[in-house]
Amino acid sequence: MEILQLAVFGGLIIGVVYALAGASMVVLYRTSGYVSFAQGDIAAASLFVGLILNNMGMPYLVVAAGTILTGAILGGLIGSFIVVPLERLGAVTAVLATIAVGMIIQGGEMLVFGAEPKAFPSAGDATVFTLGALDVSVADVVSVVTCALVFAILGLAFGKTSTGIAMRAVNDSPDAAQILGVRAAQLRRRSWVVSGALAGVAGLFIAPTFGLTPFSVNAFLIFAFCAVVVGGFESIVGALVAGIGVGVISNLVAVYFDVNLVNISVYIILLLVLLVRPHGLFGRRPLERV
């Protein structure tokens, strides 16, 4: 029973981080219609900057702020100068560009920092309370609160602000994008800034637990990918529910079956969901035009 508790509650907490990491991808998808394979690398690069700040003796808040800011700047640069200009050649080209950028960042990190895992400070390791057999730390609480805040803000932004609505319009309708013209490209660049910042935020909760290497964030992000796809890119709520679902189910599979079955189970879940509800459990079906 204790093991089950640990699995479920542990999955819940990590699922929140999956959802948070997924938010970065959702923002980009809702504006531009594709997924970036570079988010993990943007996060890692931002974290390395944060690490430098940390090693200089800066307090955690400065480290966190530095990480998020780097993510925003890096995302903005990559989007503006590389990916958005290539969007005119199609979504496949844009995705390839994100793959290319990811490879370059990864290579750079390997050269500069090497592959040895580095320790990264967390928001706080002290136990706040216990859920059954699980100790919930300050960092865990902060991650849940941050996730709630981020989703609330994103939900509001996409639903109510003119920028947010414009971002959605630009993706939903190519005609709208054409009418908005230059503004559409500007919106897409902005979404890269936001997406980059969110990648940094997610990284702040990933690195302390999993260590920081050029690959560790990417490995984590795959679960986030799956969560977001399963939940539906159109839906923030979906990302949250699916993130928790993925977290809990992977823990259960690891505990009751075999830890080495986790990845393939995630794949099967992904495939099943995509088969039955291609736009995710909470996603909207787009209008089919002939």
Partner 1 sequence: MSATTSVVDRQLLRSRTNAGLEAGRGRALLGMRVVLVLIAVVAAVSVGLGSTSGLRYALAMGAVYALAALANGVVMGGLGEISLSTSAWLAVGAYVCGLALEAGWAVGWAILASIVVTAIIGFVVAIPTVRLRGIFTALATFVLAWAVPQSIIYLEPITGGSHGLSLPTGNTVLGLPLGGSSPGQLIFSYICFTIAGLVTLALAESRIGRRVVWVGESESAAAVFGVKVTWVKVAVWTWSAAVAGLGGALFALTVGFLSPDQFPATLGINLFVVAVIAGSRSIWGAVLAGVLLAVVPTQLQSFIPSSATGIIFGVILLLALLTGAGGLAKRVEWLILAAWRAVRGGRHA
Residue 270 is a binding residue for partner 1 (CB under 8 A): yes
107 or 211, CB closer to partner 1?
107
Please identify which residue in 101, 123, 199, 239 interacts with partner 1, judged by CB under 8 A: 101
Residues 171-230 interacting with partner 1 (rule: CB under 8 A): 222, 225-226, 229
Helical H segments across 114-235, by residue range:
138-159, 162-172, 174-180, 182-210, 216-231
In one letter, which amino acid is 125? D
Binding mask 37-76 for partner 1 (x = CB under 8 A): x---------------------------------------
The count of residues interacting with partner 1 (CB under 8 A) is: 45
Please identify which residue in 103, 145, 152, 165 interacts with partner 1, judged by CB under 8 A: 103
Q: How far apart are CA 239 and CA 230, in angstroms?
A: 8
Token pair, residue 28, equals: 């980009």
Q: How far apart are CA 199 and CA 228, in angstroms?
A: 14
Minimum distance, C-beta of residue 53 to partner 1, in the bound complex (Å): 24
82 or 142, CB closer to partner 1?
82
Token pair, residue 203, equals: 């990284």
Token pair, residue 63, equals: 């480290």
Binding mask 108-147 for partner 1 (x = CB under 8 A): x-xx---x--------------------------------
Beta strands 134-137 and 127-131, pairing class: antiparallel
Residues 229-268 interacting with partner 1 (rule: CB under 8 A): 229, 258, 260-264, 266-267
Q: Cα 174 to chain center, whole Å?
A: 26
Element (H, E) at 25: helix 2-32
61 or 290, CB closer to partner 1?
290
In one letter, which amino acid is 129? F
Residue 274 is a binding residue for partner 1 (CB under 8 A): yes
9 or 223, CB closer to partner 1?
223
Minimum distance, C-beta of residue 85 to partner 1, in the bound complex (Å): 8
- Judged by CB under 8 A, the stretch of 62-70, 98-106, 129-137, 146-154 that binds partner 1 is 98-106
- Judged by CB under 8 A, the stretch of 104-112, 137-145, 175-183, 237-245 that binds partner 1 is 104-112
Angle in degrees, CA 240, 242, 248, rounded to 5: 105
Minimum distance, C-beta of residue 114 to partner 1, in the bound complex (Å): 8
Token pair, residue 150, equals: 């981020």
Bridge partner residues of 127 (DSSP)? 137
* DSSP assignment string, 68-137: HHHHHHHHHHHIIIIIHHHGGG-HHHHHHHHHHHHHHHHHHHHHHH-SS-B----S--SEEEEETTEEEE
Q: How far apart are CA 7 and CA 19, in angstroms?
A: 18
- Judged by CB under 8 A, the stretch of 8-16, 33-41, 125-133, 235-243 that binds partner 1 is 33-41
| Residue ranges binding partner 1 (CB under 8 A) | 29, 33-35, 37, 82, 86, 89, 91-93, 95-97, 99-104, 106-108, 110-111, 115, 222, 225-226, 229, 258, 260-264, 266-267, 270-272, 274-275, 278, 290
